[in-house]
Amino acid sequence: MFPLTLCLKPTLVRFEQDSFVKGWQLKALMQSIVVIALVFPLTVGYAVNHPVLMLFPLLNIVAFILCWSLVKAALSELGTLNMLLPHSLLVIQTLNEASRSLDLAAYAFTSTPVANAVYSAWRRGVKVRVLADARYAREHKSAVATLANLGVPVRINSRYKIQHNKFTIINSEIVQTGSLNYTKAALTGENAENVLVIRNEPAVSQAYQREFERLWDEGKTVTANY
């Protein structure tokens, strides 16, 4: 299965008219399947100087399956993306705008698409910090440990009964907040949720940034388990 972040690359998948569609690289891969399936056996047969292999149908089948499995995985992720609700797409699109910094405060954090978007930002060189509720992270299968194991800076806050903040600050300028927890239930429509993205309001983004810094200073670093 392709990581979801690969399907957010414009060359593989583009967002057009409220849905994700195949990008030129994915189209090219699909179009090349037949060519590869035909050429591969001929190339192998020629390389080993064995005419029988050049016509051996099993090699055609193997080549076709290998190529098609890649396309099928990408299309599966494409379907997953299009099953997400508009507010979920808004969250992921906003996270993908991170070019300098991404500070995320979460209570429940179990969403794979959100975790992938956060990890993708970190891989791009964005300064990423994730702060989560300590109790929820300990008692549930959370993305917190996964991100920490991948090297993303993560802290958990146990100072309060629950750390119930749910917001992200992008590039110290954009604030994404609302009722939505970063969970599968919230992103796939099991819950009634709202999402608010605030732009071009320096006073608001600075207030959220100060709050994040305070919570971050109170937190304890999550160390990698491997």
Rounded CA gap, 73 and 111, in Å? Answer: 19
Answer whether CATH 2.60.120.10 is correct for domain 86-221: no
- Above 90 in pLDDT, residue 31? no
Condensed to tens digits (0 to 9), the pLDDT of residues 194-218 reads: 888 999 999 999 999 999 999 999 9
- Which string of DSSP letters, residue by residue, matches 155-192? EEE-SSS-----EEEETTTEEEEES--BSHHHHTTSS-
List the domain boundaries for the chain: 4-83, 86-221
Cβ-contact 148, 223 below 8 angstroms: yes
Instruction: Give the confidence band of 181 by pLDDT, cuts at 50, 70, 90.
Output: confident
User: Which are the contacts of 185, defined by CB distance < 8 A and separation ≥ 6?
Assistant: 191
Q: What angle do CA 223, 213, 191 make, to 5 degrees?
A: 80
CB count, 10 Å around CB of 154?
29
* 64-84 as b/e: b if 16+ CB within 10 A: beebeeebeebbebbebbeeb
pLDDT score recorded for residue 106 = 92
Reported pTM = 0.63
Using CA atoms, how far apart are residues 169 and 101, in angstroms rounded to an integer? 8
| Lowest-confidence segment of 8-17, 28-37, 69-78 by average pLDDT | 8-17
pLDDT tens digit string along 139-168?
777 888 889 999 999 998 888 888 899 999
Q: How far apart are CA 4 and CA 37, in angstroms?
A: 27
* DSSP code at position 53: H
pLDDT exceeds cutoff 80 at 3: no
Beta strands in 77-226 (DSSP E): 101-106, 127-133, 154-157, 167-170, 174-178, 195-198, 220-221
- pLDDT value at residue 152: 93
39-43, 74-78, 117-121: range with lowest mean pLDDT:
74-78
Per-residue model confidence (pLDDT) at position 1: 33
